[in-house]
Amino acid sequence: MDQKTLEKVKQWEDFEELDESLRQELQAMKGNEDALMNAFHNDIAFGTGGLRGILGVGTDRMNIYVVRKATLGFLNYMMKAYPDIKKMGVAISYDCRKNSYLFAQHAAEIIASRGVKAYLYTSIRSTPQLSFTVRNLKCAGGIMITASHNPPIYNGYKIYDHNGCQLVPELADKVIEEINKIDDMFHIPSENFATLVEKGLIQMIDSEVDEAYVERVKQIKVNEVLKNNIKIVYTPLHGTGASHMVDILTSCGYTVYPVEEQMIPDGNFTTLKSPNPEEASAFEYAIHLGKKVDADILIATDPDADRMGIAAKDDSGKYVLLTGNQTGAILLDYLGKYKKHDKKALVFNTIVTSNFAKAICDKYGLELVQTLTGFKYIGEQAAKIENDKDKEFFFGYEESYGYVVEDFVRDKDSFQASLLLAEVASFYKAKNKTLINVLYDLFNEYGYYLEGVHNIALAGIEGSKQIEKIMRTFQNMQLKEIAGSHIQIFEDYDKLEKFENGKVSKLTLPQSFVLKYIFDDGGWFVLRPSGTEPKLKIYIAIKGSSYEQAQEFINNLKKAILAIIENIK
């Protein structure tokens, strides 16, 4: 073990007041060099979703000391950026995960102890509601304690600016500078939580903001539809969606059957293999209930309720899971047909979202703007046009099941998305169409846009090194052809260079270690290290002449990419 890591371990061992559960975990690691290296060698870093890591002892783990240090750094940044921060305050929310409320309490203590009001929810609330709360209360920023859809051993920490948008890298870098100035994470002074509540510096909030958020979401409407012609099964996957989703949908007139076993907040996600609506296993209970009540659509939201996954019944009565791209295309096409706009309407998605959106936007005269991966970039773009007399926000989505219909929230919002989806399903049911019929209508009109995502899990220090090696190999190999298809364009977002037909030009998006390869027919694949998990993500998107032809190409391309990766030692 290197000297720096040894010094970190000793610092934690020598801290007499170390949390007892963390001390026991540290003692259990004695003699296990790999475990100590993984927990202490690195400091947990901000990725595309803020801090996210395994719960436990160490500088590369999520624990109260990491949260306190991050909060003080974030607060020091905000005190410089917002001179009126003591009047503005900071909003804090948290999900159902282990230690989420504990972390939120510690964050509130750090903030309030420096004379800045902390608005803290009395119980779990969603990420989109946190974004709304920052804007509604005119706060200087916000903190959301969540690890989104990660396994139960994880927790995380997202930070938001005054627009209710997660901090983009140039601002996050300033926060990281402030965090790095803090040498001692163990002796950050703060007053007692109860004392700060009594002083009014920590203000517990619930219904006053709940009502404002719920009422605003309920205004999401494009057409008047029957509503009572469809049945919806809903599961929050034990998370924050349980707080409002059923109320929103039923009060708007829809018939909803909640999956009762999964309406209970549970950080262990007892009934699930994974709390991720992108995974088929997350719909096991919903499908069972759907068959029982003959539901038209099934909706699942992840633990912090920013992502929405769906399954729709086809003509044979089978429930078919839709990808994020497919759901986004259905919603976008419906909005393109029926949503009114007074200015130039802008649709936002990311560089790993299917080209389906471009074809739909072109038909309806909508302008498509693509950003790097991460909804914070979409939120940033929404803020830029907020007061533009010529442009307006129309719709934003990304392939990873995140959608926002109206930008009173500057992050993904499953409540908005679910309400719109219910309207779309009811609208087409009145025309004797399922959402699966609608999807195939879109395929027939625009072409068979299919996509695939493959994750390569590479945990720990050695895993990080291997991901770096794979990315550098692809970056330097000047790939011209793969799976029998010619690569016309190579976009290197690390070097901010675009290579096309022997010519090099500059890319204008922010720097990020992402590599994109575009084929002659517009299909593409992307390599990107995950910003929230120890994974390398491979995205593939293609437009085929038939469903079968497109799927075959995706399968062949995936095999070819993995063959290259397997030879990188």
- The number of angstroms, rounded, from the C-alpha of 415 to the middle of its chain's C-alpha atoms is 14
Q: Using alpha carbons, list the distances in angstroms from residue 405 to 25, 27, 249, 275.
A: 45, 50, 16, 24
Q: DSSP letters of 404-459?
A: ESSTTSSS--HHHHHHHHHHHHHHHHTTT--HHHHHHHHHHHH-EEEEEEEEEE--
User: Is 207 annotated in the active site?
Assistant: no
Q: DSSP letters of 494-541?
A: TTTEEEETTEEEE--SPP-S-EEEEETTS-EEEEEE-SSSSEEEEEEE
Strand partners, 400: none
User: In which element (H, E) is residue 154 found?
Assistant: strand 154-160
- Among 155, 168, 190, CA closest to 75: 190
Q: Are 430 and 325 in contact (CB under 8 A)?
A: no
Alpha carbon distance 130, 142 (integer Å): 7
Q: Which tokens is 361 given?
A: 């936007």
Q: Are 461 and 41 in contact (CB under 8 A)?
A: yes
Q: Are 373 and 352 in contact (CB under 8 A)?
A: yes
Q: DSSP letters of 350-387?
A: ETTS-THHHHHHHHHTPEEEEE-SSHHHHHHHHHHTTT
Alpha carbon distance 100, 104 (integer Å): 6
Rounded to a whole number of angstroms, the CA Rg of the chain reads: 24
Q: Are 127 and 411 in contact (CB under 8 A)?
A: yes
Q: Buried b / exposed e across 403-440, counting CB within 10 Å, b at 16+? A: bbbbbbbbbbbbbbbbbbbbbbbbbbbeeeebbbebbe
Tokens 């029957």 correspond to 226
Active-site residue (options: 113, 126, 131, 148): 148
Cβ neighbors of 207 (< 8 A, separation 6 or more) are none
Strand partners, 111: none
Q: Which tokens is 462 given?
A: 């050695």
Residues forming the active site: 148
